[in-house]
Structure 1
Amino acid sequence: MRRKSRFSLEGRFIALLSVIVAGSAVLSALLALHWRDGWLVIPVVMLVAIVAVVAAVRRFFRPIDEIHQALRSGVASFKDHDYSVTIATSRGDELGELVQVYNELAESLRNERFDLFQRELMLDTVIQSSAVAVYIANEAGAVIYGNREAADLVGKRGGIEGHDLLKLTGARAESLAAAIADGKDGLFTLPQDGDGSEILHLTCRNFNLNGRIHRLFLIKKLTREITRREVETWKKVIRVITHEMNNSLAPIRSLITSAQKIAETGKGGEHLRDIYQSIGSRAGHLQTFIEEYAHFARLPHPRAEWVDWNPFVTSLESLAEFKLAENLPDDPGHFDPVQMEQVLLNLMKNAAESGSDSADIRLRVLQNETETLIAVEDRGDGMSTEQMQLALLPFYSTKRSGTGLGLPLCREIVEAHGGTFNLFARQDGGMAATCRLPRPPG
């Protein structure tokens, strides 16, 4: 709490000068009264007064100068991030208040620096203990920070700060240096000792530090996670295939048994035809199911070409019922027409099966110089947020007879084009499926 000053600096200084002037005047008057030629003494008294004023002023300003020097030294130490300098004073005036404010500021900066140091220490401990390799490189490509995992990844036991990042990673593996040089998020394979390899994921970000651009690289090992997911996926595939095959083989087995009993009696030819028809239907369903799975597994790489929109959409209209949401672009799109036709037909089939009226199924095509947006919109029953997330996973289906491959196949085709596939719930009900495809220059 600040001390309340009894006298200001200005008041003290005026009081000091007033005492000296008043004393000089009284002394001059007394000498003039006692001496006949007292006026001759006045210059002497004035000289003595001037000397007294100079001495008093110097004495008055000496502690002020000392505090001023101390404040200058303390503020200069702030520039060097040294906040340990404090100033002791017992003054009760404005200068004392200034010193107290300085001391409070120094204490506040000391506390903030200590808290910042503790947070930096905690953050560094977390990063050093992380299983993710962290590299920070400056504009010249030199490493200015790397954690233990980053050093282990490139086989360096000591510090890696100051090393060129590309040379450092290139000495470990060409694939690692190539991923760093490419600077794009994604997976890459790192060779291991022997014949094995490890799958890693790279994340790259730019950020500004002290007015200069720096790059952050995060590398995470995913081999175990991917292997675990692969095992889970294969287990699910086996369960789905087993379920579908049992659904077809069990009725077929029962129908064959019934056919044998009827054949033994030598009667019931009409029943035998029905049984054979049912067996053929179940076998056809099983064949369709297997063919869909095989097609999903053998999806060819898209052969993109320039496609005029009018004949492409006219071909779609002969296969599905829908309306155009707006006029088609004048410029052609760039994609594999066969595969994208399959995507759109699948989306329109889903829209029709969702309970949407055919008049509410709309095809929307928007295009600019770099991107093509194709959307299929409906006013059906829609999906919950959880269902939309699961719908893009293979083998998930909300339909009793569905294989769960339609939407995953759409996403696989769009992503093979270098695009993105998403599902959205529309505001007034229904769904929208969007395909964003890149367009090459020209």
Structure 2
Amino acid sequence: MLSLRTKLLLGTMLSCLAGAMAGAVVWFTLGADSLWLAIIVMLAVCYFFSMWLTRRLSESLQALEIGLLNFKDNDFSVSLHPYGEPQLDRLVSLYNQASAKLRSERQFIYQRELMLDKVIQNTPNVMLLIDDSERVIYANSAARHLFNRGVKIEGMLLPDLVVMLPDALKAALNSEQEGLFSMGSSDSAGGDLDDNADSNDIETWHISRGRFTQNNQQHHLILLKQLTKELNRQEVAVWKKVIRIISHELNNSVAPIASMVNSGKFLTQHLDNSKLHLIFDTIENRTTHLSQFISHYAQFAKLPLPQKALIDWTKMTQQLAQQYPFNLLSPLPINPIKLDAVQLEQVFINLLKNAHESGAAADTVSLMFEDVTHPVNGLFVKVEDQGSGMSSEVLSQALLPFYSTKQSGTGIGLPLCREIIEAHGGRISMQNRPQGGLSVKVWLPVQQG
């Protein structure tokens, strides 16, 4: 079998020969004066003979061109027929294989997109995609229920959708920052997300954001995740019971060890033995450390009900400043408020301690108070720093018991703050600041005396 290249060369030679013969016939027939006419006839015969010989090649190349243009338009339905030319037929076969492969891949992607859309639509997490003009491009079922009671919201503007939302959710969406916030379950869009929830429960939410470019347009992804159910009250109660049992058993062992160490030191105080003193000191230090370690967890497990009384803010802020200095950026609250001073001081100690350990300079830690009257009378207390802030992953788990990123952390500081604040009927929210650092906001209801 001759190759396509050989056939093209032979065709060219035959075309030239046919043209030369036709030109010669004209020249011999009409004489020497017909030279130019003979040349024209020769070229014309050569051209049309070449066109006839290469017609199949032209048709096949045109078909391939049309097929590739269809590929460019994401149309993989066209298949080519063979032309009887081995080399062209191999190209046709490769094209048809590529077309079949692309059809199969597109069908697989389509099925995967259907499955992904099914998962996204059925997830309890709220997913919202908006463009630069804050117009909703995509929303899953949870987002439609949260913002518009299940009605389609694609094409609507986000500012129009947030008007009727609870203040805490509205503030989180408008802040353009990631973080934690709390709101009553009865406030969450009329309770559409959880119709069985107790209206007095406080729900903790995490908001995260992403940004990407598609089709030369900027898109913004907003994810809202409810964290309350990740470790619900029954699970916390079980943990507390386990902690109480372990603390009791450990204390029963630590207390006599500490007592025996003191007795041993007293009985051997007349002996001048440095190794013996080192042994007793080491045992005493480790039992003291273990007792403190147990007491931290016991404090979380045995949190008593708040003993509310009018707060002396001047005295409390002075005591806090002696332990962890801060800048007071607002006047102290004017309206009288009843809270458990001991428990509340523990909350602020934990928050200020975290702020000082965030990597921020001590003189950048701030405390601020704000009296609010809408929707109910309350008090906002804000603790801010200029440290490194928290990643989205850490923020989403910061209020869960026993989670800590610190090497020596117990993971109960922030959960204890949450327990105390919610026992007072309040809420806690956390988010990274645009200028760097973390902002922790505590809302407490005002109970006047």
Q: Give me the TM-score of the superposition, normalised by structure 1.
A: 0.51
1:117 pairs with one of 107, 110, 113: 110
In our comparison, the structure showing a higher alpha carbon Rg is: 1
1:236 aligned partner, one-letter code: V
RMSD (CA atoms)? 5.2
Matches within 5 A, 1:13-412: 13-21=11-19, 23-24=21-22, 49-92=42-85, 97-182=90-175, 183-192=177-186, 195-210=199-214, 211-224=216-229, 225-240=231-246, 243=249, 303=321, 304-305=324-325, 333-334=362-363, 370-371=386-387, 393=402, 407-408=409-410, 411=413
Report percent identity of matched pairs. Answer: 20
Letter in 2 for 1:126: V
Partner amino acid for 1:167? D
The alpha-carbon distance between structure 1 residues 46 and 244, as it changes in their structure 2 partners (threshold 3 A), is: closer
- What SS is found at the alignment partner of 1:127? helix
* Secondary structure at 1:205 match in 2: strand
- Unmatched 5+ stretches in structure 2: 191-197, 257-290, 307-315, 328-359, 366-384, 390-400, 419-428, 431-435, 440-449
Matching residue of 2:340: none
Q: Which has the higher contact order (CA 8 A, sep 6+)?
A: 2
Q: Which amino acid aligns with 2:222?
A: F
| 1:179 CA drift (Å) | 1.7
Give the corresponding residue for 2:270: none
2:24/2:38 contact within 8 Å kept: no
- Cα distance in 2 between the residues matched to 1:89 and 1:25: 37
Q: Is the 1:206–1:213 contact (alpha carbons within 8 Å) kept by the matching residues of 2?
A: no
Cα deviation, residue 95, structure 1: 5.2
Structure 1 pair 245–52 and aligned structure 2 pair: CA distance change class (3 A): closer
Corresponding residue for 1:353?
none
Amino acid at match of 2:362: G
1:119-152 C-alpha deviation (Å, 9 max, x unpaired): 2122112212222222222222222222212222
Contact 1:132/1:149, CA 8 A, preserved across alignment: yes
The letter of the residue matching 2:220 is R
Residues 203 and 372 (structure 1 numbering): CA distance in 2 closer, same or farther, change over 3 Å?
Answer: closer
Q: Determine helix, strand or coil for the equivalent of 1:215.
A: strand
- Whole-Å separation in 1 of the counterparts to 2:23 and 2:160: 89
Report how many aligned residue pairs link the two structures: 296
- 93-102 or 40-49, which moves further after superposition? 40-49
Deviation, 1:241, is 6.4
Q: AA paired with 1:84? A: S
Do 1:7 and 1:93's aligned partners in 2 also have CA atoms closer than 8 Å?
A: no
Distance 2:150 2:388 in 1: 49
Compute the TM-score of the two structures, normalised by the length of structure 2.
Answer: 0.50
CA contact (8 A) 1:132 1:220 kept: yes
Q: Partner amino acid for 1:220?
A: K
Q: Which runs of 5+ in 1 are unaligned?
A: 251-285, 308-330, 337-368, 374-391, 395-405, 420-436
Q: Which amino acid aligns with 2:170?
A: A
Distance 1:199 1:439 in 2: 21
Could you say what secondary structure the match of 1:201 adopts?
A: strand
Partner Cα distance (2:110, 2:55) in 1: 39
Q: Deviations over 1:256-298 (max 9, x none)?
A: xxxxxxxxxxxxxxxxxxxxxxxxxxxxxx9xx9899569959
Give yes or no for contact 2:126–2:223 (8 Å, CA) kept in 1.
yes
Letter in 2 for 1:222: L
Distance 1:372 1:89 in 2: 66
Shift of 1:83: 1.9
Q: Distance in 1 between matches of 2:296 and 2:120?
A: 49
**Residue 4 of structure 2 contacts residue 87 of structure 2 at CA under 8 Å; is this kept in 1?**
no
- Structure 1's 155 and 197: CA in aligned 2 closer, same or farther, altered over 3 A? farther
Give how far 1:223 is off: 3.2
